[in-house]
Structure 1
């Protein structure tokens, strides 16, 4: 019971971070988070509860990605606003070495969220990415985020 209350407060806190604090939001959040907890009530009983190392890995991934988004946004703004517009769009195809469909999706979305890059296609093991210039494309292929995702996959493995 104590665990459920803890999870409810965590979910409700996350709800308020996303939706803002107001009476209507609080009421909707309370109902929605209670519904989520009720729908997932059997997870702990089946031994599939939250796995702390996974949560820590995803928190680290989120913080790292946030920092990368800020840096890429500044670099893209500098590139686009420069008087010498040096855009040289390029498509690059690479194999990130990920097997998990979920982690491939995380990578594809992370690339697309990063300013100046866009995941065009994912076919099997191959990712096709559009970048504003060759430098941005090379950074994606050698992105440290790939190592973090590979490590997460090995931990599951």
Structure 2
């Protein structure tokens, strides 16, 4: 039975390593997908804000989601993505936001347009996906361990019976 135990240990280690690597890669890919979608939403919101500026319509001021400032001096057009923490007076805590800061020239005037979106929903989604993935990974690990142990015993039973008969 020592050979079977050694085989099981190797199997458990390899399976655990694969599951850990798989879960980490899955987390990174899902995080990248969510980040990409958030950045796309920020780009679309920036385009809407700039279009309202071009049409001369008033912009809705939804601080901290959308802020527009008139710049006094000349700036080059730029887009800067960053993460920031903003205090929420309702929740009485700082919450994570992803923001796009853009300098746009509209009608001869430079504006700084700041678009933000909350990452709270994204982090909650990541926690839910991570929890489900971890649960599924553990279930898969336990199931594979049980299946491997059962099939290995069945496979080695004739050999073990021969050894017992020789004793």
TM-score scaled by length of structure 1 = 0.35
Largest Rg, 1 or 2: 2
From the two aligned structures, give the one with the greater strand fraction: 2
Which structure has more RCO (C-alpha within 8 Å, separation ≥ 6)?
A: 2
